Amino acid sequence: MSVFLFVLDGLGVFNENSLSTYQNLTKKISINNNQINFLLNAGLDRALTGKYNLLFPKYCYAGSLEGHREMFDYYSNEEYTICDGGLSKEILDDLYIETRIKCIGNIKGRGKDLIPVLSKNKDQKSVILYIGIDSTISLAYDVKEFRFSDIVSYANKLLRMLHDKKINIRKLIIRGYINHFSDLRVRKEIFKKVDFDEKLSKLGFSKCFVNPKVQDILCLSGPEIIHANCDNECYNYILSKKIASNSLYFINFPDFDYYAHQCLYSNCKNALVKFNGFLPVFLNKLSNNDYVIITSDHGVNFINSDLSNAHIREGVLFLCINDGKSFVLNRQTGLDNIYKTIQKIQKNKTISTHYSLLP
Q: Give the DSSP H/E element, type plus range, for residue 7.
A: strand 3-7
Cα–Cα distance, 164 to 210 (Å, whole number)? 32
Cα–Cα distance, 215 to 200 (Å, whole number)? 13
The SS3 of residue 131 is strand
Is residue 71 within 8 A of residue 335, CB to CB? The reply is: yes
**What pLDDT shows up at residue 10?**
58
Mean pLDDT by 10 residues, the chain (359 residues): 86 43 49 71 58 32 72 77 88 94 91 88 85 86 92 94 90 90 78 82 90 88 89 94 94 82 72 89 91 78 48 62 75 65 79 55
Whole-model pTM: value is: 0.77
**What pLDDT shows up at residue 243?**
94
**What pLDDT shows up at residue 305?**
47
Cα–Cα distance, 152 to 75 (Å, whole number)? 27
